């Protein structure tokens, strides 16, 4: 079955995509893609996403240079989400961490703790 025939985009034309590191399978981020974003991702080999907050398509890393090179694309059993394995350049999180999932829940204290060190300074990567 062709890829786009198997996908179910939501009423806004979006599908969630988990981006994970191809080397260690660690989840890096969750983003949303339109059909156009997925087409550009497949054509270019770099991850493109639809930034809901900005209302536009963008390549991951277009500002910071921390791009994601696609290695493999998987579709869930119902065609409602994607898993994209990538080679991550520097980091995926705009807050300076390798992964957007850098805070861990600690049940004993009912709190979130930062569980890794930042790998870059966002102030130098994102000039505002």
Residue 111's domain is classified under what CATH number? 3.10.20.810
Total-model pTM? 0.92
What is the pairing mode between strands 82-88 and 15-21? Answer: parallel
Cβ of 84: how many Cβ atoms within 10 Å? 22
Q: Among the listed ranges 42-46, 104-108, 122-126, which one has the minimum average pLDDT value?
A: 122-126
The whole domain housing 44 covers 3-125
Task: Give the pLDDT confidence score for residue 16 in this predicted structure.
Answer: 98
- The average confidence (pLDDT) of the chain is 95
Residues 104-108 have a mean pLDDT of 97
Residue of 53 and 9 predicted with greater confidence:
9
Cβ of 24: how many Cβ atoms within 10 Å? 6
Q: How many domains does the chain have?
A: 1
**Res 89 pLDDT > 80:** yes
**Res 23 pLDDT > 90:** yes
């Amino acid at each position: 079955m062709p890829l786009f025939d198997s996908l179910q985009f939501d009423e806004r034309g979006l599908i969630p995509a988990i981006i994970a590191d191809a080397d260690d399978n660690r989840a890096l981020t969750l983003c949303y893609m339109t059909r156009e974003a997925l087409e550009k991702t497949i054509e270019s080999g770099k991850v493109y996403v639809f930034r809901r907050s900005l209302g536009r398509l963008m390549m991951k890393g277009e500002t910071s240079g921390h791009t994601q090179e696609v290695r493999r694309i998987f579709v869930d059993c119902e065609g409602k989400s994607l898993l994209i394995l990538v080679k991550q350049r520097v980091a995926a999180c705009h807050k300076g961490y390798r992964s957007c999932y850098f805070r861990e829940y600690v049940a004993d204290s009912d709190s979130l703790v930062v569980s890794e060190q930042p790998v870059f300074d966002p102030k130098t990567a994102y000039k505002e």
